[in-house]
Structure 1
């Protein structure tokens, strides 16, 4: 397994190993689900208080070519802001339908190997989407 705990996750660091379909294991060793999607860090996407930059009073979106607002349905604004800034894994949890979705920041990834991703947190520490 590759250890990526050395500070903040670099977008280039082991990114080729993180991919949809990998099994996700929490810090206790429990298989919690599979990666549905992976998003790179975007430190300019939202402000520190969770508001979209376009809502902060200035329409920055119109000034930066290609800039867009990225939201995570069903997550509280502070949690969504942190996930978008740090990059995140969207995880489909194991269990009967309807399947629930949770998110793990890339900074919470402890190890990656060919078959699984181990998180530095337990499933109880991950924000779960309230959207259905």
Structure 2
């Protein structure tokens, strides 16, 4: 989370210095897309946990749901807002895969509470 905050705040400097004004549109894209990283880490942790609990079968349904969401959002957002739509789609898909899709199954609902507790730095 700290890395995402840092990169989001430094995006104007990073993009500006590395690529110049011609790539200014990339600033907002980076500021959005960087939030995929912590969400992805949570998703990976959840999948490892599911496998360790012998519930790995649920991962394919959760990821399949994410695939459908990703395709649908890309079909809607890419034609309208281009690369910004791709960044938004990526983050929303990961957010949905981490926190919405697990609600579909009684056996995976507890993971949401545990992941949210981890984000709140609770023990």
Higher-helix-fraction structure: 2
TM-score of the aligned structures, taking structure 1 as reference length: 0.24
